Structure 1
Amino acid sequence: MAIAAAALGTLGLLAALIWSGVIWPGRIFAAGHDVRGVDVSSYQGEIDWPVLAEQGIDFAYIKATEGSSTVDSRFEANWPGALDTDLLVGAYHFMSFETPGARQAQHVIDTVPDGATLPIAVDVEFYGDFFQDPPSRADVDAILGPLLDRLEQHYGVPAVIYATPEAYDRYISGGYPDNPIWIRSVVLPPALDDGREWAIWQYSHRDRLSGYRGDEHYIDMNAFSGTTEELAGLIDR
């Protein structure tokens, strides 16, 4: 019984360390990638970009828009703040399953100015009732295709597609070959079901860095599959 109690205590401590972000499995597997970055939104609150940028990161993606009308409340402050550092910087759009892609693209274009050093990214994932009642691939293609086409036409390079594994398998797998893939996988290294290589890997959503004060205590961490020069080259393709 004493051994069992000790084992349970060890498991409880391990669970607490993982929950608090002190230990995170994805960090172990991501250790072989030298180029790291964060993604942020209004949940991180006010960000001191010079402080954040000096903590071993090379790039940042900043939430700009959602759907056809929502603008992240911190984008106006985050955008110039990040660009004033040495980080490579891009904006991301959270795609809605409920409005046409062309309208969403125009909303992005109206919000995100030129001057980014990374391509625009489009976040494709389930939300709300769509977890239980996901749209068909045909319905998503009808939104995502025009959205990506219009963004590439305006910004001059293919957009990055961010996806959870579930959204990737259902909506992206086997398609959109020109768009770099940014995949979420916060426990194990990602393995895309179509054999495709990922460009960016979101390996943790439980990291803590200095330089932000928001409702969310944690920050997402990402790894790029190549060098800093190759990451910067995404915008020159």
Structure 2
Amino acid sequence: MRVLGKVLSILLVVALAACGGGGGRRAPVAVVSGAGAGPQFGDSAPHAWVGGHPYDHMVHGIDISRYQGNIDWNQVRNSGISFAFIKATEGGDHADPNFRRYWYEAAQARIPRGAYHYFYFCRSGAQQAAWFIANVPRERNAMPPVIDLEWTASKTCPRRPPSHEVLREAKIFKDILHRHYGQRPIIYTTVDFYRDNNLGSWPEEFWLRSVAGHPRIVYPGQQYTFWQYTGTGRVPGISGNVDLNVFAGSPAQWRLWLQRRLQ
């Protein structure tokens, strides 16, 4: 691991130097080099990490929605991607048009996948749970469902309800999904939402967004299972940028997590 960390650090420094450090378009940076060895994906706008680097982790994944278009899932798997979170629903009346196709194709490529719901604050937790259940199949070998909790920028739902209402409705949503799918949902959240609503008080499994600092610095003391570290990832088989994530553990711990969480 130390050798790999040194190689990654060198590659990142070289890539940033090639970018010139100023304006203009930055070239993608590879995670590791070497024919057929390790991950082959990268980042079109790499961050100079302090306090820990996502490339120190060995298990990487993507999260996607319809904006990724057509995906070559075999290429994605062969690049070193180990899991995929796929957008399924939003609010109480929107379903991602590519969800069912991605859900099937990822399974065919033998990539563990889970579905996520973008939570709105203009519908009750019960309404949104019913909508998610209507669109996401309950099946074996699926990762836990995810509730995406962040302040929305939607013109149709600009509400920012008080924290007690946020937590009440989100709890209703996750409890209904837990009963239906037999798995406790994972909580995805952002820095401002986490702080504004005291999500650290929840004894849940977290997927944290942190694209400009290590989660141990940005979310001090918070345990997490997944870390979304960039929105400008580049992965063979996907055109354009894609969100990249890591699992906060070793490959052996990842296998144990899958054995415990796949239903």
* TM-score with structure 1 setting the length: 0.85
Residue in 2 that maps onto 1:92: 116
Are residues 1:11 and 2:21 paired?
A: yes
Structure 1 stretches of 5 or more lacking a match?
1-8
Letter paired with 1:17: R
* Contact 1:38-1:221 at 8 Å conserved across structures: yes
Residue in 1 that maps onto 2:11: none
Residue in 2 that maps onto 1:21: 44
Letter paired with 2:53: F
Measure how far apart 1:169 and its partner are.
Answer: 1.4
**Regions of 4+ moved over 4 Å:** 129-133
2: CA distance, partners of 1:159 / 1:172: 18
Higher RCO structure (Cα 8 Å, ≥6 apart): 1
* Contact 1:186-1:202 at 8 Å conserved across structures: yes
Residue in 2 that maps onto 1:65: 89
Are residues 1:224 and 2:247 paired?
A: yes
Secondary structure of the 1:96 match is: coil
**Would the alpha carbon gap of residues 236 and 128 (structure 1) be closer, same or farther in structure 2, given more than 3 Å must change?**
closer
Measure how far apart 1:129 and its partner are.
Answer: 6.2
Cα-Cα RMSD: 2.6
* Contact 1:37-1:221 at 8 Å conserved across structures: yes
Secondary structure of the 2:202 match is: coil
Secondary structure of the 2:197 match is: helix
Letter paired with 1:93: H
* Contact 1:26-1:204 at 8 Å conserved across structures: no
Letter paired with 1:232: L
**Would the alpha carbon gap of residues 132 and 51 (structure 1) be closer, same or farther in structure 2, given more than 3 Å must change?**
same
Taking only the aligned residue pairs, the percentage that are identical comes to 31
**Would the alpha carbon gap of residues 91 and 236 (structure 1) be closer, same or farther in structure 2, given more than 3 Å must change?**
closer
Measure how far apart 1:221 and its partner are.
Answer: 0.4
1: CA distance, partners of 2:189 / 2:62: 16
Structure 2 stretches of 5 or more lacking a match?
1-18, 29-42
Residue in 1 that maps onto 2:193: 167
